[in-house]
């Protein structure tokens, strides 16, 4: 069983990572960190792992942002965010501004932050830069922590 899983990771690692990272950036209860760690342990290029995970996660966030642009009724129909999380995210935006987007990687509230950014019709350019940087930073820390813990491979 372990051999089969290892082969699956090796054969389709980057594709699996992209899909999982994309889905993890919606309100679906997925996480991509374990696969990032597994791929780095398997000897995949840490930089490529970071870029694939960041790109998938960023594009998932863009999808959630787009649904937010379409309005609250679309969000409720497709993503069903809790009113409490939406309200908390709106409060964060009102208090800290657009830089809240740097924290869209935070589990539980990050996906709602991207929804609120769409609802508030924040400019896509600002959204893109800050969300990409935040997600890139998170994956960079995860991947290179594994590299450092293993003596630099």
Q: Are 111 and 132 in contact (CB under 8 A)?
A: no
What is the residue whose two structure tokens read 């769409």? 118
Beta carbons of 40 and 49 less than 8 angstroms apart:
yes
For residue 153, the model assigns a pLDDT of 56
The neighbour count for residue 98, using CB atoms within 10 Å, is 15
Question: What was the pLDDT predicted at 1?
Answer: 59
Place of tokens 């994309």: 22
> First vs last Cα of the chain: how many Å apart?
26
Nearest-angstrom CA–CA distance, 76 and 73:
5
Task: Give the helix ranges, DSSP H, for 25-123.
Answer: 33-41, 46-69, 72-78, 83-96, 110-119
Report the alpha-carbon distance of residue 25 to residue 44 in Å, rounded: 22
Number of domains composing the chain:
1
The token pair at 35 is 């696969």
Residues of the chain with pLDDT under 70: 1-10, 27, 29, 75-76, 78-81, 152-153
Give the number of C-alpha atoms closer than 13 A to the C-alpha of residue 110, restricted to the C-beta side: 24
* pLDDT at residue 19, as a whole number: 94
pLDDT at 110: 84
* Domain that includes residue 75, residue range: 2-149
* CB neighbours of residue 152 within 10 Å: 7
CB 17 within 8 A of CB 35: yes
């Amino acid at each position: 069983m372990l051999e089969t899983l290892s082969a699956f990771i090796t054969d389709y690692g980057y594709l699996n990572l992209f899909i999982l990272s994309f889905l993890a950036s919606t309100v679906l209860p997925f996480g991509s960190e374990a696969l990032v760690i597994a791929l780095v342990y398997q000897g995949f290029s840490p930089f490529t792992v970071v870029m694939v995970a960041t790109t998938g996660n960023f594009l998932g966030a863009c999808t959630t942002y787009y649904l937010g642009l379409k309005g609250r009724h679309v969000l409720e129909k497709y993503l069903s965010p809790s009113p409490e999380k939406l309200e908390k995210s709106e409060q964060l935006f009102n208090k800290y501004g657009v830089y809240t987007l740097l924290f869209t990687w935070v589990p539980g509230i990050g996906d709602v932050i991207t929804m609120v950014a769409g609802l508030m019709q924040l400019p896509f350019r600002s959204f893109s830069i800050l969300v990409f940087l935040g997600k890139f930073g998170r994956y960079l820390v995860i991947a290179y922590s594994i590299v450092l813990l293993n003596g630099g491979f």
